[in-house]
Each structure stands twice: as structure tokens, then as C-alpha cells.
Amino acid sequence: MSPQRKNLPQREEAAEEPAADAGEAEAAAEEPAAEDATADEPAAEEGESAEHAAEGADEGHAEAEGGGHGGGHIEDIDFSFEGPFGKYDQFQLQRGLQVYTEVCSACHGMKFVPIRTLHDEGGPGLPEDQVRAYAANMTIIDKETGEERPRLPTDHFPAVTGDGMGPDLSLMAKARAGFHGPYGTGISQFFNGIGGPEYIHAILTGYTGEEIEQAGTVLYENTAFSTGSIGMPPPLSEDLVTYEDGTPATVDQMATDVAAFLMWTAEPKLMDRKQVGLVSVLFLIVLTALLYLTNKRLWAPHKGKKLDT
């Protein structure tokens, strides 16, 4: 093979040399591109490492904030409706309704709550004319005509749907548990209640003011949320509403009032249930005493006697 290559004409070798030079030029042109790609690979790896590190930091931060067990910091609040003899504070429910109407209703609906219940005893107790006026401020599509009309007291609160809208709040106070007993025994719930209103209060007051950007989304640090951050911006600020009864509208006060109101929307018959439960317990106590006395009277003549053998 090598002797034949030596006998090739000179012009063929001369023709091959420019081709070789062109190949070397192409290789030389490709080398910077390869070097750029090689330089880009560490940058990409560094970007991925930074992203994973940021995710790990966020997960660690969320675990630290949430206690590492899926729950944030929830404080017990002495609500008036707690305990076997507790009942709703009518004025607090009215303030909570005002906070929901002026602040929360823009993003959260209450589709399971009839507007007429605002007049019910044990609830906000609004006069019928105020309930009608309140309902008329909201609209609904009439099923018969297909046209929009003002709502009536017999209609429900509207449902709020769409991108960026929050969950329905009708049953939120029962859907969330702020306290958890050890291993699900329910001991903590027995003394502190389920803690749904406390959870709502903690979410509304748990903002730290810090913002966290994650995957192009801005999250707001919240000590009560299980992951340590939440997508909902802080909804409350000092004096955001003006209470008609003159109560100072602090963030804590507004959060407490709306939490109590949402407990009422989730349990509007709570007072009736407590009353029935109390009567049932008293009935069982009396029945137990009567059965004991009856048993004692029936068996008294036979006790202490020996059986005939």
C-alpha cells in the first residue's frame, strides 16, 4: 500500500493538500464551537446545581417552618363558641361578615351558604330588610330567562371561579384542622377543638413580609402554612375596613372575626347541636339513676339468700 502512494502524481498530492487545508480549517472552526459548548456545559451544570440547591433550601426552610410534619405554627384562641356551653357572638359574626364582604369575597366564594341564613337566630341576626339589601348587591343568572338579576335572600352566596381565585370558604373551618392529637387519638382536639378557626386566623396573621421567588412564581412566607410559603398575598392590613361598631380594625381583630364567621358558615346549627347534646346527656344520667334504683328494688329481696340445694 505504501509504495503505491509514493508513485501517485504530484498534482494529485497538490490537489489533496488544499482539501486537507480546508478540512483543517473546518476543524479549527469547529474547535471554538466545541470549546463554547464545553464552556456552556459547566454553566448549565452550575445552573442546575443552583436550582437544586435552591429547591433543597426551600424544602428545608418549609420543613423548619412547618415542624417537618406538614403543619405550621397554630396558636389556640379562646373563641366564644368553644366548649359545651359556648355560643356565637352575634356582633363578632357581623364584623366577620363585613371582613368577608369587603376583603375575602373578591377571590373566595361561599356557594353552600344561603343568604337568608344571615337572619337566623344564633347567626349574624341581620334584619330581613338588611338581608334583602345585602343580597341585592350581588347578581345571578336567572335559569328561566337566562338574564342577570339581583340575588334574593333565597339564593346562595356566589361561587368565585377562575385563574388565581381561592378555594370556597363555606366549609373551610371544618375542612382544616389546626390541632392534631398524638397519633390520631383526638386528645388534643378534645381539649382545644379541631382548630379550624385557629388555622384560618394563623394563615391570615402568619405573614412575615418576606417574598420567595420559585420557578418564576412569587410566594409569600407564612409561618402557619405547612410548606412555609403561600401563593396568596397578605389580604389584611391595619384599618383595611371600618367597623360600624367602632371596634379597632387591627389585623388580629379582623382575622379573629372572619375566622369566627367562617366557623358559623361551616356550623350554623352548632348551638342547636350543643343544646341537643346537653339534653341527651342529662336524660342518660336520669335514666341511669332510675335503672339503678329499679334494679336495686327488684333484687333487694333476693340478695343475701342462699339457693336451695
| The predicted structure's pLDDT at residue 21 | 47
Whether the predicted pLDDT of 270 surpasses 60: yes
Q: Is 263 annotated as a binding residue?
A: no
Average pLDDT value for residue range 221-248:
94
For residue range 79-107, list pLDDT tens digits in order. Answer: 999 888 889 999 999 999 999 999 999 99
Contact 221, 228 (CB under 8 A): yes
Burial class (CB in 10 A: 0-12, 13-18, 19+), 201: buried
Whether the predicted pLDDT of 275 surpasses 80: yes
Tell me the torsion sign for CA atoms 275, 281, 282, 283: positive
Considering the chain, what is the average pLDDT of its residues?
A: 79
> Where are the alpha helices (H) located in the chain, listed in sequence order?
2-6, 10-65, 90-102, 128-136, 172-175, 187-192, 196-205, 251-266, 270-299
Burial class (CB in 10 A: 0-12, 13-18, 19+), 78: exposed
| The predicted structure's pLDDT at residue 178 | 78
Average pLDDT value for residue range 273-281:
92
Domain 90-207+237-272 indexed as CATH 3.10.290.10: no
Average pLDDT value for residue range 257-270:
96
What percent of the chain clears pLDDT 90, i.e. is strictly above it? 56
For residue range 57-87, list pLDDT tens digits in order. Answer: 333 333 333 333 345 788 889 999 988 888 9
For residue range 123-141, list pLDDT tens digits in order. Answer: 999 999 999 999 999 999 9
Contact 259, 197 (CB under 8 A): yes
- Secondary element (H or E) of residue 84: none
Whether the predicted pLDDT of 197 surpasses 50: yes
Whether the predicted pLDDT of 296 surpasses 50: yes
Question: Is 251 or 188 the better-scoring residue by pLDDT?
Answer: 251
* pLDDT tier for residue 181 given thresholds of 50, 70 and 90: low
Whether the predicted pLDDT of 298 surpasses 60: yes
Residue 32: alpha-carbon gap to chain centroid: 54
Domain positions in the chain are 90-207+237-272
With 0.75 as the threshold, say if the pTM is over it: no
Q: Is 108 annotated as a binding residue?
A: yes
